[in-house]
Structure 1
Amino acid sequence: MQGTTSLFITDPLESLNPKKDTTILWMQEAFTMGGQIFQCEMSNLIYKNQQTFADFSEIQDPNHHPQISCKVDKIQALKDFDYIFMRKDPPVNEDYMNALHLLSQAESEGANIINRPTALQKFNEKIFALQFSNWMPDTSVICREEDFKRFKKKYSTIILKPLNGMGGESIYKFDESSQDHLDIFKSLTNNHQTMVMVQNFLPEIYDGDYRILIIHGKPFPIALARIPQEGSFKGNLAAGGKGEARELSNDQVKVSMEIGKLLMDEGIVFAGIDMIGNYLTEINITSPTGAREILLQTNQNPIKTLLQSI
């Protein structure tokens, strides 16, 4: 990274938590390796004069002041940065998709964008996992009430979640059938118009929801097991889960290598898959996290491994 320029497209800097955020760790590692660090938001992307540009700021010392940036007076074509890292968190809404369209245009102009914007456009993180359904719990993608009732009859406990959520938001666990649950389903599906995902509940969640980082098609040897706290079934750190670094099991390595081949074919250099026990639940490609916690607990650095491989 010596002498390189890296542009990070992120949420507002002040919203990032330096103690936990993988993107800030990424900036710090790139800076330590000799690179210049720049940042912008999706709204700072511009197309004019037959090129795609960014109006951006420089983070001059990400190791000590990662949330302090200095506005750069000129805009710059995206193709003139050595690396562009798309690290905007979901939701994957219209604004996000429009930014990806612009980034795809920039890629056609010669910009080097990680992860590849066409892949981010192509795959929904939850539906993407269906390509590996042999590793998944029983899963249905539905919006009709009769399909919801039919799935609930199969299992004593099920999980309901939106297709575009993150951090454990709007995920429900139903142990019984009730009108309240039907009302939640109706609300989450926007009156039975928007698709959602239902799965049989996996009690293995209480031993941890594993975040496995896939770097250039290969799993990092340490995963972050996110363990639900008392009274909760959600392991997500944003939902109060506790992160514990653990070595991968043989099955986790096998699943990761299988998924990694497809990720590389699609230009997805950095991803995070979620596994509960030996079951795959999600493939995260937009803005995977967990690297900071792994580094703090094991002194092994997934982001350094990533940067050394690009």
Structure 2
Amino acid sequence: MGNSILFITDPFDSLKQEKDTSIFIMKEALRRDFEVFQCEMSDLTLKQRLSSQCTQIINNNDSLETAKKNEIDLTSFSFCFMRKDPPVDQDYMNCLHLLNVASQDGANIINNPNAIKIFNEKIFAMEFIDLMPPTIISADSTKIEEFLRIHEEIVIKPLNGMGGDNIHKVSTNDPKSLGKVIDLTEDSKTQIIGQKFLPKINEGDFRVLVINGEPFEYCLARIPKDGSFLGNLAQGGKGVAKKITSNQKEIGEKVGARLKSENILFAGIDIIDDKLTEINITSPTCAVEIFDQTGENPITKIFDSL
């Protein structure tokens, strides 16, 4: 095959054409004269080599459409983008194992499947504990309650979630707080993450894109809607593109050096009140919103780095 890229994503019809970052990357690939193909994790088959029953993607008046299906060896593609959204469940892990085999056979997988397999997005950030707000990861509801008493107001969330799902703010003034902790830990059986609540979330949960180890010059401040503490766009947050600050740049560079060492080309880090909260390496988003508001395209940096 000539220049070609495979995207492993959620079902193609579920991707929102107007704002999905995977769609945005596909359009840039087509603009650069790559052939573009898409598949789901279940379309992968390993015999002697890993292949995909994939669908060719074409651009019809700036709307992407599916065309013919092909069974193609992953080593035949110039690049393969793993862009499946979390949760990183057993099916996801099995897919990463398969992609790692393909990588050893010479396939160029973005991001490095072994890195995605090793690094949980919320636990990974703990490598930079000095850049984070006070944080605890535990299944022990008693220890989380002690953490709450110290900080008075905290946010608790599952380790494998995304998009703001199942995130709760609990406080010492709320009699239901312990019940929320017990429920989320499944009665002290499941580890969760708790972080000191940062009131400056009302100024934005800043998504900084890190490409080939370097923070992009613009970020997206995701500002919670009235009455909410969640900035996630999927939870009704408003995205406002801004130039990154010197502190955000410094955090991005520190994290970026580590990402680059693990062959993680494209990541998104989340910063609230100049504190790192998460490192997203599965399927970072917000590129479309940044481009729409600034005219600066983060995705060109990805292709320039290939």
Give the TM-score normalised by the residue count of structure 2.
0.97
The alpha carbon displacement at 1:177 in A equals 5.1
Report if the CA contact (8 A) 1:31-1:62 is conserved: no
The alpha carbon displacement at 1:156 in A equals 2.1
RMSD: 1.2
Map of 1:53 onto structure 2: 51
Other structure's SS at 1:60 match: strand
The alpha carbon displacement at 1:62 in A equals 6.3
Other structure's SS at 2:239 match: strand
Q: How does 1:141-160 map to 2 (within 5 A)?
A: 141-160=137-156
Give the TM-score normalised by the residue count of structure 1.
0.96
Q: Alpha-carbon deviations, 1:16-67, whole Å to 9, x = none?
A: 111111100000001001111100000000001x11110000012166332x
Q: Alpha-carbon deviations, 1:163-211, whole Å to 9, x = none?
A: 1110101110013355532222222112211100111100111000000
CA distance in 2, matches of 1:248, 1:298: 13
Q: How does 1:245-256 map to 2 (within 5 A)?
A: 245-256=241-252
Identity of aligned pairs, percent? 47
Answering whether residue 18 of structure 2 is matched by residue 19 of structure 1, we say: yes
Report if the CA contact (8 A) 1:27-1:62 is conserved: no
CA 1:177/1:145 → structure 2, altered by over 3 Å: closer, same or farther? farther
Q: Which segment is superposed worse, 121-130 or 149-158?
A: 149-158
After TM superposition, which residue ranges in structure 1, 4 or more long, deviate above 4 angstroms? none
Map of 1:284 onto structure 2: 280
Map of 1:184 onto structure 2: 180
Q: Which segment is superposed worse, 245-254 or 169-178?
A: 169-178
CA distance in 2, matches of 1:94, 1:214: 27
- Supply the AA of the counterpart residue of 1:57: T
Report if the CA contact (8 A) 1:24-1:62 is conserved: no
Report if the CA contact (8 A) 1:126-1:283 is conserved: yes
Higher strand share: 2
Report if the CA contact (8 A) 1:272-1:289 is conserved: yes
Other structure's SS at 2:149 match: helix
Map of 1:233 onto structure 2: 229
CA distance in 2, matches of 1:59, 1:147: 50
Structure 1 stretches lacking a partner, 5+ long: none
Map of 1:34 onto structure 2: 33
Other structure's SS at 2:62 match: coil
The alpha carbon displacement at 1:230 in A equals 0.3
Report if the CA contact (8 A) 2:9-2:83 is conserved: yes
Structure 2 stretches lacking a partner, 5+ long: none
